[in-house]
Amino acid sequence: MPVRDAEVADAEEICALIEEHARYEGNETLVLDRAEMTKHLFGPEPKAWVLIAEPPEQPGAVAGFAFCSWNFSTWEGRPGVWLDDLFIRPEYRRHGLGGELLAALRGRTSGRVEWEMQEGNEKAAAFYAQLGAQPVPGWIKYRWSAQAK
């Protein structure tokens, strides 16, 4: 299977993928602190986890990733997965790797797998609909950042 759990040796590649995704989405300035990210993913109290997609024809190459954390639904009474970032490098798209990553996430919980998508991303919306995922009507996302008072 082309999907595996990330290991500490993948930290540099994970940061590179996040930065590539940021550039793809128009953020030319994002640069991550590799040591800080390594601590958050692989330290004594990990805050998130990553699945890596490897193309079957190129073992060891990294085609993309899913960056996740656990959440919990009080109404369902069970844990779920929060997908913070899903990115497949352009040269590896249309080979089923995004679907493989999402199927691996689905297999890790009997609860919800949730994520956000930027408005207007019709290709992503079509891809998610093909999997059977649906937007959540009637909910508004809020963000309370550390800079807000």
**Among 80, 74, 22, 57, which residue's Cα sits nearest to residue 14?**
22
| Ramachandran area for residue 28 (φ above 0: left; ψ -120 to 50: alpha; else beta) | alpha
- Given the residues 24, 92, 128, 142, the one annotated as active site: 128
Percent helix, strand and coil across the chain, each rounded to 5? 35, 20, 45
Q: Say whether 128 is catalytic.
A: yes
Q: Please report, for residues 102, 131, 138, the alpha-carbon distance to residue 127 in angstroms, rounded to integers and kept in the order given.
A: 11, 7, 22
Distances (CA, A) of 105 to 64, 77, 132: 14, 18, 14
**Active site amino acids:** 128
